[in-house]
């Protein structure tokens, strides 16, 4: 897996991603402490609103950025987003009103919504070989999981030496370092002509392409299934461990660590697995397994006593992490195959926006139902959501969808660059390549 780091450009981009993730992790801890200082016992409502603001920024900003990204140098866009994030992090220690926190969080996450899809669209151009790209996706998944484990520990170590306001400085340093690494990387030149049309047409182009493609519609359903499972982990873990099982605060971290360990294990195993097993098989089986894990978690929730419940919960959380990783890690491969290079930024932005729309639904569902009707009711609702979404994904992703398809082009000029390897036949031009969906390839192909 680490062999892809031999590529100078990818090594710099991956390192930029890692240091930016560490900065974000420090900011998460610092923001929690800032909210407590400002609101005391009402800090939860401040953070809950901040989380909703974060998701709203992701959903709204990513498509808007894709509308203008074609006309901007990608390096400038990535560096600019990092510098905006650094500036916001430096401003956060000076706020004294809750509304100011929300405004700055929106600005911070809007910059992230500009950075992430652009970054994701650049990587397959830096690593055109699919095996290398698959390993890069696993490394990225690994980076996210390790950040969730390592950042709180780093924050705790720093807080033993300095006040939490200095964590925002560490966040800013991480984003500045990320910008410097992007500057030092030689990014491939964009060869595609910027898309024409209005800003609205450009902003919605990625979503339209996403929804026209059977494989990507299936991915959207799988995103909902993963969001249902992830909401249980993020929102309800503390309630499961502290109230339902009566265990210590430290055990909350162990449960979250079990989820991360499951995800990391699969991220390490997936590259070799995907060399032998089709993406469709891996992702759909993973989605269907979520319903089974929800059923097992329901049994744990229904039980009122028994020492077995704690190791069973750790096992369930590890399985949730493993299965979610089987769905999320190959998603970039699916987008890379399904979208032509000129459309990749738009389609990655659509994936970013649509996937976070799913989280925007499941987060409050997990919290409100658990509070109003109890953990079992929340689990049943989210389990049914995940199962229904996974079954929909199976129907939406036809087994006949191949990685490479033979098809016919009619009406293109003989010197059109897309026909460089095509064979002329009486009706037009016939050739084979990976399935994409763009202006030259309609769903009928």
Say how far apart CA 63 and CA 130 lie, in whole Å.
26
Going by pLDDT thresholds of 50, 70 and 90, the confidence category of residue 400 is low
pLDDT for 174 beyond 50 = yes
Kindly state the percentage of the chain with pLDDT values over 90: 25
Q: Quick one: CA dihedral 243, 244, 246, 249, positive or negative? A: negative
- 348 falls in which pLDDT band (50, 70, 90)? confident
State pLDDT tens for residues 247-263: 887 788 788 888 888 99
Question: pLDDT tens digits for 125-162?
Answer: 888 887 888 888 888 888 888 877 777 677 777 777 87
Query: Which pairing describes strands 404-409 and 423-425: parallel, antiparallel, or unpaired?
Result: unpaired
Mean pLDDT of 419-441: 64
CATH class given for the domain over 1-186: mainly alpha
pLDDT winner (highest mean) among 290-299, 330-339, 395-404:
290-299
CATH topology agreement for domains 1-186 and 198-401: yes
Where residue 445 falls among pLDDT bands split at 50, 70, 90? very low
* Lookup result for tokens 């909902």: 224
Decide: residue 231, CB within 10 A, 0-12 exposed, 13-18 middle, 19+ buried: buried
pTM here is: 0.80
- Tell me which of 36 and 278 has the higher pLDDT: 278
Of the pLDDT bands very low, low, confident and very high (cuts 50, 70, 90), residue 164 is confident
Highest mean pLDDT among 40-44, 237-241, 247-251: 237-241
Backbone angles phi, psi at 429, to 5 degrees: -130, 130
Q: Domain residues of the chain, as ranges?
A: 1-186, 198-401, 404-434
Q: What are phi and psi of 135, to 5 degrees?
A: -65, -35
- Compute the distance between CA of residue 300 and CA of residue 245 in angstroms, rounded to an integer: 10
Q: CATH number of the domain at 198-401, please?
A: 1.20.1250.20
Residue 23 has pLDDT above 80, yes or no: yes
The string of DSSP letters for 291-304 reads: HHHHHHHHHHHH--
Q: What average pLDDT does range 192-208 have in this prediction?
A: 67
């Amino acid at each position: 897996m680490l062999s892809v780091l031999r590529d100078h450009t990818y090594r710099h981009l991956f390192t930029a991603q890692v240091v930016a993730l560490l900065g974000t992790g420090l900011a998460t801890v610092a923001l929690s402490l800032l909210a407590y200082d400002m609101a005391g016992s009402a800090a939860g409502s401040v953070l809950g609103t901040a989380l909703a603001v974060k998701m709203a920024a992701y959903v709204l900003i990513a498509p808007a950025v894709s509308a203008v990204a074609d006309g901007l140098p990608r390096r400038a866009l990535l560096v600019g987003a990092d510098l905006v994030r650094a500036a916001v992090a430096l401003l956060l220690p000076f706020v004294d009103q809750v509304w100011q926190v929300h405004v700055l969080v929106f600005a911070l996450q809007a910059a992230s919504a500009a950075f992430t899809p652009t970054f994701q669209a650049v990587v397959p151009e830096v690593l055109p070989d699919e095996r290398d790209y698959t390993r890069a996706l696993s490394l990225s998944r690994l980076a996210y999981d390790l950040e969730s484990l390592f950042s709180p520990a780093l924050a705790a170590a720093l807080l033993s030496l300095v006040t939490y306001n200095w964590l925002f400085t560490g966040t800013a340093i991480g984003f500045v370092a990320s910008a410097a690494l992007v500057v030092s990387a030689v990014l491939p030149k964009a060869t595609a002509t910027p898309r024409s049309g209005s800003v609205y047409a450009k902003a919605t182009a990625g979503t339209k392409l996403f929804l026209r493609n059977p494989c990507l519609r299936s991915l959207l359903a799988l995103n909902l299934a993963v969001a249902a499972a992830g909401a249980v982990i993020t929102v309800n873990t503390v309630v499961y461990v502290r109230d339902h099982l009566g265990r210590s605060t430290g055990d909350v971290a162990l449960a979250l660590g079990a989820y991360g360990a499951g995800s990391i294990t699969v991220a390490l195993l997936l590259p070799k697995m995907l060399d032998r097993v089709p993406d469709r098989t891996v992702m759909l089986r993973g989605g269907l397994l979520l319903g089974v894990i929800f059923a097992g978690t329901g049994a744990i929730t229904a039980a009122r006593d028994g020492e077995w419940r704690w190791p069973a919960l750790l096992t369930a959380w590890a399985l949730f992490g493993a299965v979610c990783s089987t769905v999320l890690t190959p998603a970039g491969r699916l987008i890379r195959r399904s979208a032509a290079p000129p459309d990749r930024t738009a389609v990655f932005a659509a994936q970013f926006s649509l996937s976070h729309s799913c989280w925007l639904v499941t987060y409050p569902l997990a919290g409100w139902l658990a509070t109003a009707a109890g953990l079992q009711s929340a689990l049943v609702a989210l389990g049914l959501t995940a199962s229904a979404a996974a079954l929909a994904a199976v129907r939406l992703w036809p087994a006949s969808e191949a990685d490479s398809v033979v098809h016919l082009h009619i009406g293109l000029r003989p010197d059109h660059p897309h026909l460089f390897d095509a064979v002329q036949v009486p009706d037009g031009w016939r050739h084979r390549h990976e399935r994409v969906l763009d202006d030259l390839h309609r769903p009928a192909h």
